[in-house]
Structure 1
Amino acid sequence: MTITYSLEELLDIAEQVIAHTTNKIISFDGDMGIGKTTLIKQICKQLGVQDGITSPTYSLVNEYEGDEGPIYHFDFYRIEDEEEAYHIGFEEYLESGAWVFIEWPDRVKNILPMDIATVKIVLTEDGKRRITVA
């Protein structure tokens, strides 16, 4: 699925990402400031999260409570190496059956399952974003 959208359409995009993915583990790839966290916030709202949704840039992981249970949001931008992911129990989060959203997945690519969903966001020439979900 590939869609070009403006920020005003983000709620609809979040609904489509949820509907299009068959795996609850989703990696989000894109340049700094492209809107990965903003999209994840909307997805979390669609999944029933009532709490504040923020980027886990410094904590590495935030946990939210959604309608179906816990949702884990990782941001590996500041991770030094994959060993840090092991130390926080990343594998257990992946095996939990919960929704798991991963920003900067390239930092932990060797320990990611092969069958996760991938969301790629790029900026178009007209200032919109193009999302590809695979």
Structure 2
Amino acid sequence: MDYVSHSEAETEDLGRRLAAALSPGAVVAYRGDLGMGKTAFTRGLARGLGYEGRVTSPTFTIVNEYEGAGMPLFHFDMYRLEDAGDLFDIGWEDYLDRGGVCAVEWSERVEEALPEDAVTVTFARRPENESWRTITMEGMGPV
């Protein structure tokens, strides 16, 4: 399903709405270039899962953990990993077993490690306005 976001707030709201539809152990695989709104979307996921603190990109830490009133959120950035083998070295399977939601930036780098039922979220610029985004969600119904 395709959604059009005209602002960071709309992107965040879409993430919040997706969070309400996710079950423990869900994996959300992001695709899209730098500056597409993945962190804003993740902030919405975190809010929807009950976390109210600051949400940042885990570019240098590989994973940020957010625990709030609901399910935990594990936000991964795979940009610096060579392949899925590196992912297993940081305890990927343990994160999958912890009953939270795993949001994975640059998921195409570790595609073979992702479960078949992962929700894929693709971010792309709109041709009519550089600040607008098309956000495509695959692997679930409308949110």
**Secondary structure of residue in 1 paired with 2:72:** strand
The higher-RCO structure (CA 8 Å, 6+ apart) is 1
Q: How many residues align?
A: 134
Q: Does the 8 A contact of 2:20 with 2:49 survive in 1?
A: no
Query: Structure 1 residues 11, 100: CA separation in 2 closer, same or farther (over 3 Å shift)?
Result: same
- Among all aligned residue pairs of Structure 1 and Structure 2, give the percentage whose two residues are the same amino acid: 36
Opposite residue 30 of structure 1, the aligned amino acid is: G
Q: Does the 8 A contact of 1:77 with 1:107 survive in 2?
A: yes
Q: Does the 8 A contact of 1:21 with 1:117 survive in 2?
A: no
Question: Does residue 125 in structure 1 map to residue 119 in structure 2?
Answer: no
Specify the alignment match of 2:15 in structure 1: 14
Mapped to 2, the partners of 1:113 and 1:94 lie a distance apart of 10
Alpha-carbon distance, 1:21 to partner: 4.9
CA displacement 1:50-104 (0-9 Å, x = unmatched): 2211111111001011222321000001112222111110112123221110000
Aligned positions of 1:1-134 closer than 5 A: 1-7=1-7, 8-19=9-20, 21=22, 24-127=26-129, 128-134=132-138
Opposite residue 133 of structure 1, the aligned amino acid is: M
Mapped to 2, the partners of 1:67 and 1:36 lie a distance apart of 22
Unpaired stretches in structure 1, ≥5 consecutive residues: none
Mapped to 1, the partners of 2:16 and 2:66 lie a distance apart of 18
Opposite residue 10 of structure 2, the aligned amino acid is: E
TM-score (norm 2): 0.84
RMSD between superposed Cα atoms in Å: 1.7
Query: Structure 1 residues 69, 16: CA separation in 2 closer, same or farther (over 3 Å shift)?
Result: closer
CA displacement 1:2-25 (0-9 Å, x = unmatched): 111111423432233234556721
